A and B are shown apart, each in its own frame.
Chain A
C-alpha cells in the first residue's frame, strides 16, 4: 500500500462533489471535492507500489486537458492507466451533467 500526493496549478473550479468508479480488482474510485483555491490536490492510495511516475504522467495529461480546481482522492486497486483515464473522463462527464 502506497500513498502518493500531487499538486497542480489550475483555473476552473468545480461546482459539486463527484464520485465515480468502484474499489475492485483492476478498478479504482475517484472522489472530487470543490475547493476555493486555484489548484488541485490529488491523493492516490494504491495497492500497487512503484507506479509513482506512471500516476504523475496520467494526471499531468489529465490536467493539461482539464485544468479543474478540486481536492481529489483516488483509491486504486491495480487499475491500468487506460482504466484510470476512463474513470477521470467519466468524472468530467459527471461534472458536466446538470442533474
Chain B
C-alpha cells in the first residue's frame, strides 16, 4: 500500500523530463515523496522531487512498476541521520529526539526534509528546517492526547498532521475546534468537513 508522505525509490531513467534530472543533479537512485492526489492514469503515482532551495518542489508522475522500494514515515522513527553529530543541535533534530522518547508505542512518522534525509541518506535538513510530525490515527481515541497535553509547549513548536484513512488534517485545528468542520486534505483536494475519520 502507498500513502501520501511515503518515500519511493526508483531509477532516474523513468523521468521523462531529462532537463529536471540535470537541474537537480539526480543520481541513478532517485527518492521521491508521494503526493496526495489522484494520478492522471491508474498505473501512475504522483510524486514530488525536492529541489536544492527551500520550498522548491517538482511534481511529476512515475509508473507504479518503476517503484523499487516504498518507505513509510513510521518505519524510520528509530533511525539516525548519517551525519547525526553534525546536526545534533539543529532544532528539527532535537525535536525529533524528543518525539522518539514521548511517542514510543504510538504510530507516528517523520515527513518533510528530516524524513527525506533519514530515508535517503541524502543531506536535506538545515538549521532552519521545520519538524514535520505525522500521527497516524483511524479514530479519535488513537490520537496520543495524553502525551500531547502533557507536552503542550513542545507540540506548539511545529506542525503536526494527523493522517486518517480519509486524509490529513492539522492537529492544532482539530484540538481548537474538535466538533466543527476542519480542513481535510484528501486525494481529490482539500475540503471542509466533520467526517474526518471514515
A21-B169 Cα distance, complex, nearest whole Å: 11
Chain B contact residue count (CB 8 A cutoff)? 17
A90 within 8 A of B: yes
Q: Which residues of A have CB within 8 Å of B189?
A: 82
Q: Are B159 and A21 in contact (CB under 8 A)?
A: no
A83 within 8 A of B: yes
* Chain A residue with the shortest CB-CB distance to B130: A25
The SS class assigned to the B binding surface is strand
Q: Which residues of A have CB within 8 Å of B183?
A: 21, 27, 83, 86-87, 90
A3-B176 Cα distance, complex, nearest whole Å: 27
Tally A-B pairs: CB < 8 A.
37
A78 within 8 A of B: yes
B140 within 8 A of A: no
A22 within 8 A of B: yes
Contact of B172 among A24, A80, A83, A86 (CB under 8 A): A24
B38 within 8 A of A: no
**Least distance between A16 CB and chain B CB atoms (Å):** 15
| Chain A 54-91 interface mask (CB, 8 Å, partner B; 1/0) | 00000000000000000000000010101100110110
Q: Are B173 and A21 in contact (CB under 8 A)?
A: yes
A2 within 8 A of B: no
Q: Which residues of A have CB within 8 Å of B132?
A: 25
B152 within 8 A of A: no
Q: Are B170 and A24 in contact (CB under 8 A)?
A: yes
B191 within 8 A of A: yes
Given known pairs A24-B159, A83-B183, the reply for A89 and B173 (CB within 8 Å) is no
Q: Which residues from 1 to 21 on chain A have a C-beta closer than 8 Å to any C-beta of chain B?
A: 21
| Chain A 18-58 interface mask (CB, 8 Å, partner B; 1/0) | 00011011110000000000000000000110000000000
- Range, interface on chain A: 10 to 19
Q: Are B159 and A82 in contact (CB under 8 A)?
A: no
Q: Which residues from 139 to 198 on chain B have a C-beta closer than 8 Å to any C-beta of chain A?
A: 159, 161, 170, 172-173, 176, 181, 183, 185, 189-192
Q: Are B130 and A90 in contact (CB under 8 A)?
A: no
Q: Which residues from 56 to 85 on chain B have a C-beta closer than 8 Å to any C-beta of chain A?
A: none
* Chain B residue with the shortest CB-CB distance to A83: B190
**Least distance between B57 CB and chain A CB atoms (Å):** 10
- Give 3 nearest A-B pairs by CB, closest first: A24-B159, A22-B170, A22-B172
Q: Which residues of A contact B (CB under 8 A)?
A: 21-22, 24-27, 47-48, 78, 80, 82-83, 86-87, 89-90, 93
Q: Which residues of B contact A (CB under 8 A)?
A: 55, 112, 130, 132, 159, 161, 170, 172-173, 176, 181, 183, 185, 189-192
Can you name 15 A-B pairs with beta carbons within 8 Å?
A: A21-B183, A22-B159, A22-B176, A24-B170, A25-B132, A25-B159, A27-B183, A80-B190, A83-B190, A86-B183, A86-B190, A86-B192, A87-B183, A90-B183, A93-B192
